[in-house]
Amino acid sequence: MELRQLEHFLAVVEEGSFSRAAARVFLVQSSLSASVLALERHLGTELFIRGRRGAELTDAGLALVTPARTVLAHANRARDAVGEVRGLLRGSVRIAALSVPRSIDIIETIRRFRTEHPGVDVQVLPADARSMVDLVADGRVDFAITPWTDRIGSTLHFEPLLSTRLAVVCPAGHRLAGATDVDPRELVEESIIDLPQGWQARTLFDGVMEEHGLARQVSLEVHDWFSVLAMTQRGMGISYGPRECIDVEAFGVGVATLAGGPLWELGIASRDEALRGAAGRAFLAAYLEHCAN
């Protein structure tokens, strides 16, 4: 059994199909399939059910997931330890991130880090807020830049980077544009572009409406923040979101403060520091330094 075979197996598990997994590990699909097939022959059992819906785990495949992740984590730590002794930083950094305000943008950190540590591979995984906690908890990413949710609990460490009030976003010429302390009752008759359930902003907004005993019907739900801003700008309705994440200049929208608007926190969710590799620790330190400046 080879480490690369376990890496290919987990790529299929996490991507849900052989084609997407092959693209992720930069192989043609036939080579990836051959690698997984060799692993199945070595173990004497099928790990996936191949079908039109993608690749589904068999019971044996499901049993292999956690040990495979453990083996690869130990191998990465071993490489990190040797690299640190030699004064080299190698390995990979995997980060899950939402779109964030420019003040804490991760792009500049990536640019500098790759220049200083060319031996480190950096991967940024786009993920929705609902799946980020699982990605961190399962060890599939080193850390996530994510809103705080009660799912983080005591199992993960959360380091706040930004706190901002929930606000109303509306077309630039809307009657609420520029208003302060808007009463939630003024929003009931408006067409609201909603974020998905599970997103912290949606949870906070629903909580505000419930506190005021206001019932509403969800008729439009959009799973992408930039699309919400674009739809609002085109007059399709009003929406809500963290004030610091509403780019008024770029999207040409208006903003109103919400009376009693709750705080939305953005920060870094990670496991215990000892579980991150040297590359992950170094990247996180560089990012925090950037955010502090």
What are the average pLDDT values for consecutive 10-residue runs of the chain, which has 293 residues? 89 87 86 91 90 81 91 76 59 83 87 88 78 82 88 82 95 94 93 92 94 89 92 95 90 94 93 69 89 84
Calpha distance 64→44 (Å, rounded)? 13
Residue 182 near residue 176, CB atoms below 8 Å: yes
pLDDT of residue 44: 92
Please enumerate in sequence order all residues whose Cβ is within 8 A of that of 277, keeping only pairs 6 or more positions apart, or say none: 76, 77, 80, 91, 92, 93, 142
pLDDT of residue 83: 62
Please enumerate in sequence order all residues whose Cβ is within 8 A of that of 70, keeping only pairs 6 or more positions apart, or say none: none
Calpha distance 230→234 (Å, rounded)? 6
pLDDT tens-digit map of 109-133: 999 998 888 888 888 887 776 678 8
Tokens of 264: 């939305």
pLDDT of residue 35: 92
pLDDT tens-digit map of 130-166: 678 888 887 788 899 999 888 787 778 899 999 999 9
pLDDT of residue 166: 96
Residue 248 near residue 178, CB atoms below 8 Å: no
pLDDT of residue 105: 86
Calpha distance 112→92 (Å, rounded)? 15
What domains can you pick out in the chain, each with its CATH number?
1-88 (1.10.10.10), 162-263 (3.40.190.10)
Calpha distance 238→222 (Å, rounded)? 12
Task: Give pTM, 2 decimals.
Answer: 0.69
